[in-house]
Structure 1
């Protein structure tokens, strides 16, 4: 587990309290993970060849 300083824990707690920022962060992380998985699953053949 991460060893966080008390100051860092306080900042993370404050960030989680700002709901709009926290949910936006979670959405961005989720979309990034989805896109990374999409590259592995869909990129098996070329769709456009110049």
Structure 2
């Protein structure tokens, strides 16, 4: 018999810790560039 634990997903993978993702403009630009390129690479992947 398999038993499952009731786990609150918000505790496992929080969307934010309240801190900014980038400390400066250069980091922000790299984050955006990488995100946009990943969207292009995986555009046809459902």
Normalised by the length of structure 2, the TM-score is 0.50
Q: Which has the larger radius of gyration?
A: 1
Kindly indicate which of the two structures has a greater share of residues assigned to helix.
1
Q: Which has the higher contact order (CA 8 A, sep 6+)?
A: 2
TM-score, length-scaled by structure 1: 0.46
